[in-house]
Amino acid sequence: MFETLKTAPADPILGLTEAFKKDPRAEKINLGVGIYKDEGGTTPILSCVKKAESRLLQEESTKSYLGIEGTEEYGRSVQRLLFGNDHPIVTGSRAQSAHAPGGTGALRIAAEFIARQLSSRRIWVSDPTWANHANVFQAAGLEVVSYRYYDADAKDLDFAGMMTALKQVSPGDTVLLHGCCHNPTGIDPTPEQWEILAKCAAEGGWLPLFDFAYQGFATGIDEDAAGLKSFAEHNPEMLIASSFSKNFGLYNERVGCLTLVADDSARAMAAFSQIKSIIRTVYSNPPYHGAGIVTIILNDSALRTEWEGEVAQMRERIRDMRELFVASLKARGVTRDFSFIGRQHGMFSFSGLNPEQVAALKRDHAVYIVGSGRISVAGMTRSNMDALCDAIAKVL
Ligand code: LMR
């Protein structure tokens, strides 16, 4: 039966990593996938993670199944991380959380929930958005439509265009929002704009679904939840897909969480029971290890402080790389204005490089970036910066 099957196209992000690994050139640079690298070019295990992990290994006494949603402690820790300890959503038990395998797992469960339980199967995503969003939502049977987000000329958010599009959203539709560090543009709404968007959702009667994969990478752990909190103030219901791949560096442990917020505790429990039914048919119940590490760190004040320091270090190193990148291109006589890269947040920037320039970077200089022109700034280091900027100056 298999002889009739055709080869699937390579994934635009992870397929690039496969090609990068096979490239024999020693000087190759991978700015494709969003993985943090330190100055030495490695993806470190955070020191707080190592400590929590060794405690977990000493203390755990069973490998028995978890409940369908994972542990209650993990769910509560994630809710406090999102909203703060004293937020009415937390104190009023208006949220329920399920540990999902990675942010992608959380998004897929959210998509299945929307497809099976809600009145509209339409989801709106920003244009552009993460290359895998449409695939994940379509796989669950959702209709994916886009709203305007990016002004390519100004290299900035087209907020007026975004608002015009979001006013067209029908009541009951879902709108996907990036909690912070928009992937791929690195451009987020301001706190004032978040407030306007939150009111627009309430007036339009649409369901906000937050993809929150970079909490702590823009300005700070709490500051980065400003948009989410604005929505919580004006909207009784929402879904949040958290990922702890980046901010805990737990990429291969697949730690994510799907949080459902309703207007009271009983409604949250009823809606969440449907999420549990979906999980049971997809992966039955979640793995423990990564969530165990996150739970220990978030509930131990010394480890939590250490974690916040390590997130700040990653955030600041990326910010330094943004500045160095802009300055290094300028030093090479590049006249095109790349200063917008210094104003963006998180791991990514939309460079404005076209597909031919992206192809030439890979072919002639062993520099890998995503076809859309998205650059993972988190992969830049002081040692690869000269080679990178020489290459870009040549292909421009
Ligand atoms: C990315 O956008 O590079 C990351 O979120 C990793 C991935 O799975 O695509």
Is 246 labeled as catalytic in the residue annotation?
yes
Using the mean position of ligand 1's atoms as its centre, give its distance from the Cα of residue 380 in Å.
16
Is there a catalytic annotation at residue 222?
no
Last residue of a domain, one of 266, 299, 332: 299
Dihedral, CA atoms, 15, 16, 19, 21, nearest 10 degrees? Answer: -100
Q: Does the residue 354 lie in any domain? A: yes
The domain total for the chain is 2
Which domain range does residue 122 map to? 65-299
CATH code, domain with 118 = 3.40.640.10
Last residue within a domain, chosen from 271, 299, 327: 299
Q: pLDDT digit of tens for each residue in the chain (396 aa)?
A: 999 999 999 999 999 999 999 999 999 999 999 999 999 999 999 999 999 999 999 999 999 999 999 999 999 999 999 999 999 999 999 999 999 999 999 999 999 999 999 999 999 999 999 999 999 999 999 999 999 999 999 999 999 999 999 999 999 999 999 999 999 999 999 999 999 999 999 999 999 999 999 999 999 999 999 999 999 999 999 999 999 999 999 999 999 999 999 999 999 999 999 999 999 999 999 999 999 999 999 999 999 999 999 999 999 999 999 999 999 999 999 999 999 999 999 999 999 999 999 999 999 999 999 999 999 999 999 999 999 999 999 999
> In this structure, are 207 and 102 located in the same domain?
yes
Ligand 1 center to 62 CA (angstroms): 33
Clarify whether residues 291 and 330 are in a common domain. Answer: no
**What CATH number did the domain enclosing 352 receive?**
3.90.1150.10
Is 130 designated active site? Answer: yes
**How many of the other CB atoms lie within 10 Å of CB of 373?**
18
Residue 390 lies in a domain: yes
**Claim to verify: residue 185 and residue 242 sit in the same structural domain:** yes
Catalytic choice (51, 246, 307, 362): 246
Tell me if residue 252 falls in helix, strand or coil. helix
Matching residue, tokens 């990922």: 243
Q: How many beta carbons lie within 10 A of that of residue 141, not counting itself?
A: 12
Last residue of a domain, one of 299, 326, 347: 299
Residues 25 and 80 in one domain: no
Question: Which residue's C-alpha comes closest to atom 4 of ligand 1?
Answer: 34
Strand stretches in 179-254, DSSP E: 207-212, 238-243
Residues 84 and 220 placed together within one structural domain of the fold: yes
Cα(34) to ligand 1 centroid in Å equals 5
Domain check: are 218 and 336 in the same one? Answer: no
The CA 139 to ligand 1 mean position distance, Å, reads: 18
Residue 356 belongs to a domain = yes
Q: The pTM is what?
A: 0.96
89, 181: one domain: yes
Tokens linked to 157: 């958010």
Say yes or no: 213 and 276 in one domain. Answer: yes
Q: Choosing from 211, 224, 229, 362, which is the catalytic residue?
A: 211
